[in-house]
Structure 1
Amino acid sequence: MPLKYGPLRYGPLKFGLSLCLLGAFAGSSAYAQEQLKGVVELFTSQGCASCPPADETLRKLIQKGDVVGLSYHVDYWNYLGWADSLASKENTERQYGYARALGRNNVYTPQAVVNGRDHVKGADIQAIYKKLDSFKNAGEGLNVPVKAQRLSDEIEIDIGAGQGKADVVVAYFTREQIVDVQKGENQGKKISYWHSVYDVQTVGMWNGSSMTVKLPASVMSKAKNGGCAVLLQTTDAQGNPAAIIGASVLLPSD
């Protein structure tokens, strides 16, 4: 089935300034830094008939454990008869930010943005891994060490040294949700969604030197049953999201 294309709509990329609440996280990063191939951000919608195969692809990537996988539900297909229960305008704005950074005039679902540098069809796992491998071979992988861990009453994010400048971005997600879609193109389907992002926050700035960011215990008191990904992400000259040069994941304790 052909890709669904969303309407062209530009808006500023917005990151909230307040810290989102976190749950009780395990004592160290869920994935070993050395095994991570990169970051895959899937832009999807419950109202898009082309999206369930891509949602399944993301699940496979996450469960394999060699990428940081995140799912952003967009809201521009809500008019088709089913309002995506996980969508937000902020997720849509992030996708349009990538479109501007990549020189595109439109957005679509399902779209997988890889390492913030390029995009492929979201259901094509071979194309995703090919893109990840090409970035790694070109020295455009996750080259800056990022480690996130819970220490006593705070979450500590340690970032190594490197070149350039970047934002320290935290994307908070729900681990897994099953949604019973009752209307629209996916009517009657129960779809499993993994790592659906519900908030994105910028918590620091990195200037090439090693640094530590600490989030206080107060951010861990009323969380959803999910986790968070820490992204060391550059921006283009207009402030749009661009290359991701480091990443880590924290998941809740069992």
Structure 2
Amino acid sequence: MQILVALACAAVLAALPAAAGDGRPKGVVELFTSQGCSSCPPADAALGKLVEQGDVVALSYHVDYWNYLGWKDTLSSAESTERQYDYARTLGRKSVYTPQAVLNGRDHMNGADLSGINRTLDTLDDNGKGLTVPVTAVREGDRLNIHIGDGRGKADIIIVYFDEQNTVDVGRGENRGRKITYWHSVRDAQTVGMWDGKAMELVLPMTVMDHERYGGCAILVQKMKSATVPGPIIGASIVTDSPS
């Protein structure tokens, strides 16, 4: 299963867009949201603005615990809910909420607070808690080289697949009658390797990509507090099929 995921991601990465500066995003924003949450549409719109900024790895995880409110989120999954609860343990919280934005796996806030998100990402970066490990991908003929730079400690290498954009007509529940656009909604995630603090290359073949299945993917280099509890994200890159 991991091999299939890695092969698909390699094809998506062929569309790697150029990034500003040293090519390092200033942070990772993971939004936990739901189509059945009346407070979430402003946060979904804020995530869209982060995607437009182009300097943030922005991902949207649709949780399933609000599905009982009369509308089953068409993008929701138990895995997204599980990741949010895992973060609750990381952040020392007893409960979860929507819309919650988790920043670099280190902090959280209301996902609708766009200025606060950008400000906190800048502060984390200034304090050495940003994306300190460079992650790049370069196509060479029929293969793709993913390069992860030097750093400290150990971390998992996670590939996160997402739909680039979905527009949903919500038929019931708290958002009944609304047409809402969602960006970078996560559909799958797999751990495909481990980084031990030393620069490394992950070589993947460029195979046929099922473009109708995923619109892009992100590579996250994330430290783990335990086998199931995520820690800080120290490196990341994002790739979509859209022209840069």
- Secondary structure of 1:133's aligned partner: helix
SS at match of 2:108: strand
Q: Which residue of 1 aligns with 2:76?
A: 87
After superposition, the C-alpha distances for 1:151-182 in whole angstroms (9 at most, x for unaligned) are: 43333211001111000111111111101111
Range 229-238 or range 28-37, more displaced: 28-37
Residue 75 of structure 1 contacts residue 92 of structure 1 at CA under 8 Å; is this kept in 2?
yes
What does 1:113-132 align with in structure 2 at a 5 Å threshold?
A: 113-132=102-121
User: Equivalents in 2 of 1:217, 1:66: separation in Å?
Assistant: 26
Match of 1:44 among 9, 25, 33: 33
Following TM superposition, the consecutive aligned residue runs of length 4 or more in structure 1 with deviations greater than 6 angstroms are none
153 and 54 in structure 1: CA distance in 2 versus 1, 3 angstrom threshold? same
Picking from 240, 247, 252, the partner of 2:241 is 252
Partner Cα separation in structure 1 for residue 133 and residue 75 of structure 2: 31
Specify the SS of the correspondent of 1:201. Answer: strand
- Code of the aligned partner of 1:217: M
CA-CA distance at 1:25 after TM superposition:
4.2
Retained in 2: the 8 A contact 1:29–1:248? Answer: no
Return 5+ residue gaps in structure 1 as ranges: 1-15
Which AA in structure 2 matches 1:146?
V
Deviating more after overlay: 20-29 vs 160-169: 20-29
Q: 1:191 to 1:72 in 2, by over 3 A?
A: same
Q: Gaps (5+ residues) in structure 2?
A: none
CA shift, 1:73, in A, is 0.4
How far 1:213 sits from its partner (Å)?
Answer: 1.1
CA distance in 2, matches of 1:167, 1:221: 24
- Cα distance change of structure 1 residues 155 and 190 upon mapping to structure 2, 3 Å threshold: farther
Q: Cα gap change, 1:179/1:225 in structure 2, threshold over 3 Å: closer, same or farther?
A: same
Q: Deviations over 1:220-241 (max 9, x none)?
A: 4324251111111001135311
- 1:132 to partner: Cα distance: 0.6
Name the residue aligned to 2:95: 106
1:31 aligns with 2:19: yes
Q: RMSD of aligned C-alpha atoms? A: 1.8
Q: Which amino acid aligns with 2:238?
A: V
1:6 aligns to what?
Answer: none
In the TM superposition, what are the counterparts of 1:211-222 in structure 2 within 5 Å? Answer: 211-218=200-207, 220-222=208-210
Q: 2:53 aligns with which of 54, 64, 70?
A: 64
Task: Name the counterpart of 1:4.
Answer: none
Please, what TM-score do these two structures have when normalized by structure 2? 0.91
Pick aligned residue for 1:201 from 190, 199, 221: 190
Q: Contact 1:72/1:197 (CA < 8 Å) preserved in 2?
A: yes
- % identity of equivalent residues: 55
3-state SS of 2:133 partner: coil
Which digits, 9 at most, give the CA deviation of each residue in 1:190-248, with x for residues without a partner?
A: 10000011001111100000001123334x43242511111110011353111000111
Q: Distance in 1 between matches of 2:233 and 2:214?
A: 26
- The answer to whether the aligner puts 1:134 opposite 2:117 as a matched pair is no
Amino acid at match of 2:67: N
Q: Distance in 2 between matches of 1:155 and 1:48?
A: 40
Contact 1:30–1:250 under 8 Å retained in 2: no
Q: How far apart in 2 are the matches of 1:182 and 1:27?
A: 35
Alpha carbons of structure 1 residues 30 and 251: separation in structure 2 relative to 1, 3 Å: farther
